[in-house]
Structure 1
Amino acid sequence: MYFFVRRTIGHRPLPAIMFADLFAASKPPYFEGPSMRPILLPLAILVSLPLGPALGPALGQSGVVLDNKAQYENCMRLADETPEEAYKSGIAWFERGGGSAAEHCVATALMNLGNYREAAARLAALAETPDVKQRPTTRGLILSQAAQAWSELGEAGKAAAARDEAVALAPDDPELRLERAIARIAAGQHFEAIDDLNRAAETAPRRVDVLLIRASAYRYLGQLELARDDVDRALAIRPDFQDAILERGVIYRAEGDKDAARRDFLWVLDVAPEGPAGDAARMNLEEMDVRVE
């Protein structure tokens, strides 16, 4: 059995995480794994972790040699760029013996087309296949992607159950902990989110996204000293990281140090005038000018 992992993190104000994890069996036509379209985080990282030999071609049910790894990557690229084409390509590939890799590409294309209900159903079914169930972390990642689809549908209970099951399958996976923490923050469950972030920080102590999200949660709870400590730790790892400096400015503002806050917000506006960080810095500056603080 071969195993290949690719994790991707994207960027937006309230972060959420997505990643990719694909594996192939040495016997055709099995080729499974989740791939999640990047969602916005205060960070952009690409981490590749090969866990086995390079994936080679497999013989499809039609007798045609299929290079599963290349086909999967091409299908997932289409799922991001032109999901309509990815859907058609994935269906055709599945009919040629593409197996779970093709099914996962179809589900991801449906996610990106906004057909969340069918995507969730396909992902939930994929998570129950025998080969996926033999790999707890992979199954957790698929369930986590299904949770994203349920969230888009407003099915908070189903999304929470899928995330809980995903974390139970791989409790030390920082991505799964981080995603559940973000969902918990959105639901106002800040203490529970911090529990997940503490575990993620233990397993991935140099993850600045974990530190910054935990800093935001601490700040929301009024624990400004703990929030500042996490920001300082993040800046020790990435000194010019604009999102960390933005968060530091927000903490300064909460502490009543308007001069320090303004200095950080202006720095962010100078280096990143466009985008979420710049928008947030601009908003804070405008509010500081309007309000008496």
Structure 2
Amino acid sequence: MSGEPPPYDCHRDHGPYAGVADLLGRIAADRPRLAARHRVELRAIAPRLDAGRRTAAEEQPIRFHPARRTAALAYGATEFVAAWAGTLRRPVTLRFAHVGAADETTRELLGSLAGRLGAYPVRLELRDDGPARPAVDPTPAALRTALGESLAGGFYHHAARTARHGRTLVTPADDLPHWWAFTTGLATALAALDQATEALDLYHEARASTDDPKITMSAAYATAMLYARHLPAAAQDPARARHWLEQALRLARTVADHRQRVLSTVFYEQGLALLDSRAGEPERALRLIDDGLARLTAVLAPGERPQDLARLRHNRAQLYLALGDPQRALTELDTVIGHDPDNCEYYVDRAALHRAAGRHRAAIRDHGAAIRLGPHLPEAYFNRAVLHQERGRTGRARDDLERVLAIDPGHLDARIALVNLHLGRGALDVAEAGARAGLALTPDEPVLLCTLGLIRSERGGPAEAEELFSRALAGDPELVEAWTNRAAVRFDRGEVAAAVADLDRAVALSAAPVPRYNRGTALVRLGRWDEAARDFTDALDAPDLDRSLRRDLSTALARCRRRTS
């Protein structure tokens, strides 16, 4: 890149990633090899960079991305910019205008850049003023196109604004097709943004505004999915979901065109299969899917609508797993990935089956594919970290866990796993900082409180440690680690009876050998040799016992027997 770029206009009127997409495009043109390594996220943020490679299937996606995907896109784009910044030989200032009026996607990415580029010769200048490109006053047709693109990309805040604007321009009486497109698009965006109650109101409005059979059919299915999946847990209602699915199916069966009738009917029946599976009737759900696949295959040409077929087969794979047949589930997922090889979700599911069967290398490969296609899917990074840790690759595990938290700082499991990795290698300062960072986000999280208590105990702060364990138990009275660790603090302080009381609770909650070994040790201190011997004997019966723990238990049990003989 030669010279400093002019201010990038970030105003939300220009769409998701306005301004920052221009920056990424400029860097990509200057560093094509670097851009190729970040193709998936760049393509999502700035589709024009890869427009020639888009396929018809991608133009009309049948699945919607989760709203949190934008955080992963921001992470990938930031890594791309940081890699470029690392090659700079002189300082560069990047100027962005109208930041205060930017779309949520732009603000998220700018925030990620600001947090990452401090170590590079790059300065971000964020302004609310500056020259602006004129925003064209769009027609309903142009708004509808923009709405579809935002929904397909998972840019739901912009989709919601676009749909709301569209609804101010048309009414059901003067332009029903556009009004419905804006209404259902707004409902879809709101559901993705955890505002499903407002989405439900929109579908009620649609039914009150028209009796058009296609609209009422679609509204019935969407209403069913809100009751089945998207409403707050207390408001979800399987019976209402089934009612609305049956309404959608009744209307689908009246569609004149045979092919479209089959497509709609099979699609809606997948909702019934979901409800049947949740109701504990996987065999009934499987019959619905098998029948749907047979009917779809009969009306589709070879190679047509592969993603539809993949989705049904994915549903069938999940049912095979629920029915206790992981091998058939794996075979089905192989076929699913053959139909739709760019869906990261399928690789994550297959990786879980590989891991359960002990095929760790295959699982790691599938998680790598999910990370590449996601892109930067936090769950795939986390699952791969667990696999690395199980294989003794703690450095790789640590790298993946740090990536998870860079994308999603609130990922509790990754936070705990990373703190424990630091704790395991004796890096107490880093471990404590990580635990406190997690507690700053979730102050009363019991597992983090317990972990911090363990760290404080290791650092010679027993009083603070006991208080942290007690707070953890107040939040989760079934947290075995907190009972066990608080007992250890009390035992070390000479409060042996109190330690035994805590260990009684731990043993009641868990069959693990360590609480029994610890209680046996405390009982020995109290001279209760017979009870201690029972604890040591029970602990020795545990499967897959660690060799050193088995040795210690055997020694302790022999001592008890000598005292009672």
Is this a same-fold pair by TM over 0.5? yes
Length-normalised TM-score, structure 1: 0.70
Distance 1:89 1:145, change over 3 A: same
Q: Is the 8 A contact 1:228 1:251 kept in 2?
A: yes
Aligned to 1:145: 349
Aligned to 1:283: 484
Aligned to 2:289: 90
Q: Is the 8 A contact 1:79 1:108 kept in 2?
A: no
Q: Distance in 2 between matches of 1:240 and 1:291?
A: 26
Query: Does residue 1:4 correspond to 2:64, yes or no?
Result: yes
* More moved, 219-228 vs 54-63: 54-63
Query: Does residue 1:119 correspond to 2:119, yes or no?
Result: no
Distance 1:111 1:242, change over 3 A: same
Query: Does residue 1:196 correspond to 2:394, yes or no?
Result: no
RMSD (Å), alpha carbons = 3.4
- SS of the aligned residue for 1:4 comes to coil
Q: Distance in 1 between matches of 2:270 and 2:294?
A: 14
Q: CA deviation at 1:77?
A: 4.6
Query: Does residue 1:243 correspond to 2:447, yes or no?
Result: yes
- Which of 262, 266, 278 is matched with 1:64 structurally? 262
* More moved, 180-189 vs 90-99: 90-99
Listed as ranges, the matches of 1:202-221 within 5 Å are: 202-221=406-425
Name which one, 1 or 2, has greater alpha-carbon Rg.
2
Q: CA deviation at 1:228?
A: 1.3
Q: Distance in 2 between matches of 1:160 and 1:178?
A: 11
Q: Distance in 1 between matches of 2:289 and 2:399?
A: 39
Distance 1:229 1:73, change over 3 A: farther
Q: Is the 8 A contact 2:348 2:370 kept in 1?
A: yes
Q: CA deviation at 1:125?
A: 2.0
* Higher relative contact order (CA closer than 8 Å, sequence separation 6+): 1
Number of corresponding residues: 244
Query: Does residue 1:102 correspond to 2:303, yes or no?
Result: no
Q: CA deviation at 1:61?
A: 5.5
Aligned to 1:155: 359
Listed as ranges, the matches of 1:7-46 within 5 Å are: none
Q: Distance in 1 between matches of 2:324 and 2:454?
A: 34
Higher helix share: 2
Query: Does residue 1:266 correspond to 2:455, yes or no?
Result: no
Length-normalised TM-score, structure 2: 0.39
Q: Is the 8 A contact 1:116 1:150 kept in 2?
A: no
Q: Distance in 1 between matches of 2:338 and 2:418?
A: 33
Q: Distance in 2 between matches of 1:193 and 1:279?
A: 25
Q: CA deviation at 1:147?
A: 1.0
Q: CA deviation at 1:291?
A: 6.5
Distance 1:86 1:291, change over 3 A: farther
Q: Distance in 1 between matches of 2:289 and 2:283?
A: 10
* More moved, 88-97 vs 108-117: 88-97
Aligned to 1:26: none
Q: Distance in 2 between matches of 1:194 and 1:73?
A: 40
In the TM superposition, what whole-angstrom CA distance separates every residue of 1:128-175 from its partner, at most 9, and x where no partner exists? 21xx22x3xx2x221111111111122223222222332233352222
Distance 1:61 1:235, change over 3 A: same
* More moved, 279-288 vs 148-157: 279-288
Query: Does residue 1:227 correspond to 2:431, yes or no?
Result: yes
Distance 1:154 1:236, change over 3 A: same
Distance 1:190 1:81, change over 3 A: farther
Q: Distance in 2 between matches of 1:114 and 1:174?
A: 28
Distance 1:90 1:291, change over 3 A: farther
Q: CA deviation at 1:118?
A: 1.6
Q: CA deviation at 1:72?
A: 3.7
Q: Distance in 1 between matches of 2:483 and 2:327?
A: 37
Q: Distance in 2 between matches of 1:69 and 1:48?
A: 20
Higher strand share: 1
In the TM superposition, what whole-angstrom CA distance separates every residue of 1:17-76 from its partner, at most 9, and x where no partner exists? xxxxxxxxxxxxxxxxxxxxxxxxxxxxxx9469xx999889886843536665444434
Identity of aligned residues (%): 20
Distance 1:61 1:218, change over 3 A: farther
Q: CA deviation at 1:127?
A: 1.2
Q: Is the 8 A contact 1:60 1:66 kept in 2?
A: no
Structure 1 gap ranges (5+): 9-46
Q: Distance in 2 between matches of 1:126 and 1:222?
A: 44
